[in-house]
Structure 1
Amino acid sequence: MLAQSRAVIALSDDAARFFRSQSDNVKTVRIPNFGPVSDLSRRSSGAAENRFGWVYVGRLTPEKNVMWLAEYAQHLAEPLTIVGGGPLTNEVGLLASQSGGSVEFVGQKTEAEVEDILLGARGIVVPSLWAEGVPTVALKALALGCPVLVSNACSAATELTKRGAGIVFDPGCDVNDPKSLAVGAMEVRSRQAIYSNRARQLFEEDFSPEVWRQRISELYTECFI
């Protein structure tokens, strides 16, 4: 099938490298998914000086590493809000109730409510233990000027933090290690406006619907016209 294709669309740099390694004769183009935002005018809101705390949005499952994050939140200086549901709902809720205020568990929220939370947060934390692709909620965060702090286990870590738009951290290192989430969070806090602006810019340049349409149109024109 690959040999008969005119082109391969890869959603990430890692995927593009894999397909190129399989065939030198087929054109491989990286065109990542775009990130929708319900109200695009909200991209410019969420002033850096009004941002406070961190947020996790997603399924509450072991591979998402959410329990580690909830326990780690005491090292983040500002509270962590956990949004979502799943098999670990009860465990996360119990840990939050015993966290002394370092964790707030709010359960599942509507898309608009999630956007409100992202607009007010310093950054979104993606602590996954597995090499997932580009989480849609991470793209939404970038669009809203909410920097991404992402585990180095995530295959999209580099793409979500390009051009200084976020932080890649190692969940396995000591809290004082330069590669730790705590040190990364401190860096974002110290230069919030810069990171928020870079996050919006990365979305506009790499993950916006407009850029996606342009890339797809150019590829289709090259292959079929």
Structure 2
Amino acid sequence: MDHYIALNRDAAAIYSSQFPSMVIDVVPNFAPLPEVSKPTLDPRIRSGFVFAGRLTPEKGIKWLLEHWPSGEPLTIYGDGPLKGLVAAAANTAHSGISFKGQIPQADLAKAVARAEALILPSLWREGKPTVMLEALASGTPVLLSNAVAEGDLLEAAGAGITFEAGVSSSSLVHAIDALRAGASGFISRARHLYESEYSEQIWLERIGGVYERARTKARLRAIR
């Protein structure tokens, strides 16, 4: 093998520690532009927060329900074994939580594009979920737990904020407040991060570079 491809730096570091001689290229996945391809830059048009994903313990949905600030608008999309728990929370007076279940992808993209932020409260280590890339494509910032890979890059780009899921709600509340304090900037930077890191064109350039380096190595071996 000439090259191995990792989807994020965390995975590359794990492989590298086990196989020091391995040549690893980091090539993140891409997300196509949603139908709502032009981001809504005015934060006054956006409203509430969105969770979209599997309703399972490791995704942090139970923790989110237990620590979500009372009265803050949160809309949950998805299905899974904790569906009943989510539905019950949505029926609680003044919780601010609504549950929509699974909806068509095009409708979900529109809902994410209208949100103040996408929330990823994962408790277990995971890579960058596709829904996160889709949110960035629509200019929607991301509030993500520190269990999601490369949250530091998202923060450095000014496209989102990390918080500590699995502990108290104070970190989440602080992230919400900080996001709102600079809402318009987060929106524009989210879209910029998508265009510079997670668009189809960027992916094609990166994967093309991997193939070219592999071909060059093969030619050099053939000459020897």
TM-score, L = length of structure 1: 0.89
The match for 2:25 is: 29
1:187-215 deviations in Å (ceiling 9; x for gaps): 11111110011111111111111000000
Report the alpha carbon displacement of residue 101 of structure 1 after superposing the two structures with TM: 4.4
> What residue identity is the alignment partner of 2:175?
G
Structure 1 or 2, whichever has the larger Rg, is 2
Alignment gaps of 5+ in structure 1:
none
Higher relative contact order (CA 8 A, sep 6+): 2
Alignment gaps of 5+ in structure 2:
217-224
Q: Distance between the aligned counterparts of 1:144 and 1:57, measured in 2? A: 15
Report the alpha carbon displacement of residue 67 of structure 1 after superposing the two structures with TM: 1.8
- % of aligned pairs identical? 38
The counterpart of 2:175, out of the listed 184, 204, 215, is 184
Contact preservation (8 Å) 1:70, 1:96: no
Aligned pair count? 216
Q: Distance between the aligned counterparts of 1:205 and 1:43, measured in 2? A: 16
The match for 2:116 is: 122
Contact preservation (8 Å) 1:46, 1:120: no
Pair 1:100 & 2:61 matched: no
Pair 1:74 & 2:65 matched: no
Contact preservation (8 Å) 1:36, 1:209: yes
The match for 2:132 is: 138
TM-score, L = length of structure 2: 0.89
Contact preservation (8 Å) 1:46, 1:119: no
1:117-136 deviations in Å (ceiling 9; x for gaps): 11111101100111111100
Contact preservation (8 Å) 2:67, 2:168: no
> What residue identity is the alignment partner of 1:74?
P
The match for 2:5 is: 9
The match for 2:47 is: 52
Q: Distance between the aligned counterparts of 2:93 and 2:135, measured in 1? A: 25
The match for 1:65 is: 60
Provide the aligned C-alpha RMSD in A.
1.8
The match for 1:171 is: 165
Identify which range, 160-169 or 61-70, moves more after superposition: 160-169
